[in-house]
Amino acid sequence: MNEGLNKIIEQLNVEQKQAVCADLKNLLIVAGAGTGKTTVLVSRIAYLVEHHHIPPYAILSVTFTNKAASEMKVRLEKILGAERIRYMWSCTFHSACLRILRNFFMQAGLKKDFVVIDTSDQLRIVKRALAELGLSDQKQVKPKEYLNAISSCKEAGLRPQQIDSQVKLYRFAEVYSLYQSSCDQDGQVDFSEILLRCVELLRAHEEVRAYLHDKFKQILVDEFQDTNSIQYEWLRLVCGKDTNVLIVGDDDQSIYGWRGAVVENMHRFKNDYRQVELIQLKRNYRSTDAILETANSLIKHNTGRLVDKHLITNRATENKVLVVGARNEFAQAEFIAKMILKLKASGLKANDIAILYRTNAQTRVLETALRNDDLSYVIYGGLRFYDREEIKNALCYLQLIVDPNNNLAFERILNVPARKIGKATLGKLQAVAMETGLPLYEALRQTLLHSSSKPLRAFFDLIEKLKQDLVEAESLPSFVEHVLETSGLLSMYKLADENEGTEGKSKSRISNLEELLLEFERQSSEELPNFFASESEMNEANGDVEATNKDQISVSTQLSNFLDKICLTSGAESATGEDGTEAVRLMTVHCAKGLEFKVVIVAGFEETLMPLRPESITPKELDEERRLAYVAITRAKDQLVLCYAENRGSFSAGGYINERTGVSSFLRELDHNYYDRKMYRN
């Protein structure tokens, strides 16, 4: 067996080794916080290849984030080599579904070159649907609410005709119907549609199911407690009778019920799959004993746990958890800032410290206190890279070049940079498109037969030239750089700096465009063609895979693949702020899941925030709130501080009021032997 794999297995604890070296069967791995589940998953895949002789292309590994999928791939490459795992599917639910849809687009009722759209594009379609129904001028109608409801319905597997009275939005079914008709007509698929459309494809087409059943012999799914109903159904449809499934999850860390996650899926797995072996990972390698026992004492109060697990650690310490009260949220923020100053003075780096909170509204006071003490900070979950104006503009140029029928991209860049093409001109083009049933770009082509508009002609000629340049392009990065220069985007931002006499926002935008070029450089030559390679590029007859020469993959195909990946990334993940900046990390507890820090400070460990709205909470919701607190606690490696305000300001109909809050009721559930409590007097 592989020497590198042998060394890894030798270092595993008993439970980890049991999971990695298990026979070919269905496995349920209950992996507590910090118990090394990624190591187990990677080692299990390598063991399947080396010991059980499962071909890598017959293995499907599913994660929830692109980051996790990439990390697994990198670690597997170190053990097995890049070439051996070239055709293994290590991906998210949505990227796996997208790959299936690309290969079976006809059966799925999609156009061959369908486009994946992001949130901002979705919002524009919703607004258009509301306008068509005469609802856009009504104050109570909020497009984002309709968009969120559409996404929720799709994640629940519901089409417009299946909407029930639970959705309270005015004429929602009509808006949803118009929205979906627009997407279908323009060959567009949103993030939630990817999974739903794939499930519908698998339900309806036995030959597609048979192909996947024959292909995948081993399926591994990470973070199973976060799966929703349609993801669970998708897994059932992809699994054949001879497929073995391994799921890894922790029901104690299920905190996404509000967005459709069904923690009961872990219980269902035991009943729906044959001869499931349950293995617990209980040894925590992250936290000290004080932190871990605090977490254990809290979570044991939850009902309906899959197993009664009690995490253990060898990291003994005399430092107890610190519970600190302050008279209000301002004093609490002041204490946190002063504590961080002391920690830094002791030699701790700022990026080893995280401040966690329940809601984003808490950041205002915290930011003020940090700035007052000249402390640098980064807020996780800010504006995502691919959502920034300059990046969106660049991507829309690329999208329109690849697919001239992309109406959303056309509308965005028609007058960017400014070409003296106003809203009235765009309106005329939209009218022509509606009359003729043509995409906007083709409507422009028809208009130019009867128009002498120089700005419109210049835009059309630009896109036509870039389309031809793409065919002749030698490399993807050089082509993207060519587009940025030829389109005038780079010049636009450089000129803005010169006119303003500053090096502010525009300089930052130029830097972001340069970073985009670097991203194309990093990923264009290897990862994208391999991951999104169509099945026609592989010969899996007789169990053999014919290697694909990456040089034979056209620049156009590489660009299409990259645009797909970007849309998947922007749809699934928020910005993380992981840029190496020496700064304190600020984030919600939901954002912190999967992360760890030497010092964790929880702001707002109060009865109005954790648990949220305790006066109206159901027992099931209280369990999830407790799990949220558990996740917050288990992010800490060396030191944990739980802060609360005795009073907190809020706004009501009568204006600003000061409300009594006090420490969270969860404090009563914590083992008092492992924490010290004090008040901050400023």
Q: Which residues are the active-site residues?
A: 37-38, 222-223, 253, 635
Structure tokens at 371: 């700035």
- Tell whether the torsion through CA atoms of 86, 87, 89 and 94 is positive or negative: positive
Residue of 217, 244, 238 whose CA lies nearest to 55: 217
Judge residue 654's burial from the number of C-beta atoms within 10 Å of its C-beta, 0-12 exposed, 13-18 middle, 19 or more buried.
exposed
Measured distance CA(659)–CA(662) in Å, rounded: 10
HSE, side-chain direction, 13 A CA sphere, residue 418: 6
DSSP state of 577: -
Residue 12 CA to chain centroid, in angstroms?
Answer: 30
Longest CA pairwise span in the chain (Å): 84
Measured distance CA(45)–CA(48) in Å, rounded: 5
Structure tokens at 88: 């293994």
Residue of 609, 582, 663, 581 whose CA lies nearest to 365: 609
Number of DSSP helices (H) and strands (E) in the chain, helices first? 27, 16
Residue 139 CA to chain centroid, in angstroms?
Answer: 31
Bridge partners of 673, per DSSP, are none
Measured distance CA(273)–CA(28) in Å, rounded: 10
- Torsion-angle region of residue 650: left (phi > 0), alpha (psi -120 to 50) or beta? beta
Measured distance CA(512)–CA(526) in Å, rounded: 23
Residue of 393, 394, 392, 396 whose CA lies nearest to 404: 396
Residue of 550, 242, 238, 566 whose CA lies nearest to 395: 566
Bridge partners of 28, per DSSP, are 247, 278
Residue of 646, 119, 94, 594 whose CA lies nearest to 335: 646
Distances (CA, A) of 323 to 232, 493, 602, 605, 611: 40, 49, 10, 9, 16
Q: Which amino acid is at 27?
A: L
Map tokens 């009021």 to a residue. 657
Contact (Cβ atoms closer than 8 angstroms) between residue 523 and residue 517: no
CA angle 494, 497, 503 (to 5 degrees): 115
Structure tokens at 521: 């450089």
Q: Which amino acid is at 383?
A: L
Instruction: Say how many C-beta atoms besides its own lie within 10 A of residue 89's C-beta.
Output: 20
Measured distance CA(4)–CA(267) in Å, rounded: 35
Is the bond preceding residue 611 a cis peptide, omega within 30 degrees? yes
Measured distance CA(668)–CA(232) in Å, rounded: 36
Measured distance CA(458)–CA(464) in Å, rounded: 10
Is the bond preceding residue 56 a cis peptide, omega within 30 degrees? no
Measured distance CA(255)–CA(262) in Å, rounded: 10
Q: Where are the alpha helices (DSSP H) in 346-453?
A: 363-372, 389-402, 407-413, 423-436, 440-448
Measured distance CA(141)–CA(135) in Å, rounded: 7
